[in-house]
Amino acid sequence: MLKKIIIPVLSLSFAVLLMSWGVVGHRAIGKIAQNHLSKRASAAVKDLLGSENLAMVSTYPDEIRSYKQFAYTAPWHYVNLPEGLSYEDFTMQLKTMDKPNIYKAIINCIADLKDPSKPKQDKIFALKFLVHLVGDIHQPMHTGHSEDSGGNGIKIKLMRKEGNLHGLWDSGLIDYAGMSYNELATDCDIINKKKTRNWQKDELSKWAFESYQITAQLYAEAAQNPEFDYDYYPQHSEIIKKRLAQAGLRLAAVLNEIYK
């Protein structure tokens, strides 16, 4: 496991940030989900993960993807679609896409967990990826444009430090908050029951489309002025907290459904 590191944003080199939501963000999502598991789902997760939990395994897919034998999983972390699509067109293209992408990967992970014929090791692998990918699909820049590699090619500055738009949203803004993953989970996990139920009823394609819509805003802001000031974080902090909360609560709902 990678050690948790919180680094002040001024010292970050955004170009080398490769982990979606970073260690802190992904583990916060896992923690939120763990808080909302049913008794059956909690027991099933414990049976698969043993002494680990959803927070601890949430970064596994990022930790292994640099190894050659896991290179095939790289496209599972994102999806790129043209800008300006309606929800109907977005959903149609998402569901009919031939190449591997995050939408297909999540569906496959769920199917593997439900399949009684799958070996336990396959289910463990599927669970670790499901935890991570549900987080990824709620990170807006994982539904970015293919021509700029999901914002990696969009050069920006945050308080005069150079980076790129994808890296900023992967880890930069969460690290700026300076919280541990437990603190971040507590800060985000304060959603009322009605809103929680509504989010949990949404289809997987809706999760992706929400990120797609936010991405359009982020691209437009960077195009207007790519040199962000000290007010960028407070202006976007509610988006970050909402997406982390949605990811954790929806992940819990998926696992509760699988193990009902």
Rounded (5°) CA angle 203-81-234: 75
Q: Between β-strands 227-228 and 161-164, what pairing exists: parallel, antiparallel or unpaired?
A: unpaired
**pLDDT of the residue at 170:** 84
**pLDDT of the residue at 21:** 85
Question: What does each C-alpha distance from 157 to 154, 165, 215, 233 come to in angstroms?
Answer: 10, 9, 18, 13
Domains in the chain, ordered, with CATH? 9-258 (1.10.575.10)
| Residue 225 CB neighbour total at 10 angstroms | 10
**pLDDT of the residue at 203:** 97
**pLDDT of the residue at 160:** 86
**pLDDT of the residue at 18:** 44
**pLDDT of the residue at 178:** 87
d(CA 125, CA 60): 9
**pLDDT of the residue at 4:** 38
**pLDDT of the residue at 114:** 98
Contacts of 216 (CB under 8 A, 6+ apart): 83, 84
d(CA 102, CA 3): 26
53 closest CA partner among 118, 127, 119: 127
**pLDDT of the residue at 13:** 38
d(CA 144, CA 93): 14
Contact between residue 185 and residue 252 where contact means Cβ atoms under 8 Å apart: no
**pLDDT of the residue at 171:** 79
**Parts of the chain with a pLDDT under 70:** 1-20
**pLDDT of the residue at 132:** 98
Paired strand residues for 161: 158
d(CA 214, CA 241): 13
- Using CB atoms within 10 Å of the CB of residue 203, give its burial: 0 to 12 exposed, 13 to 18 middle, 19+ buried: exposed
Q: Between β-strands 155-158 and 227-228, what pairing exists: parallel, antiparallel or unpaired?
A: parallel
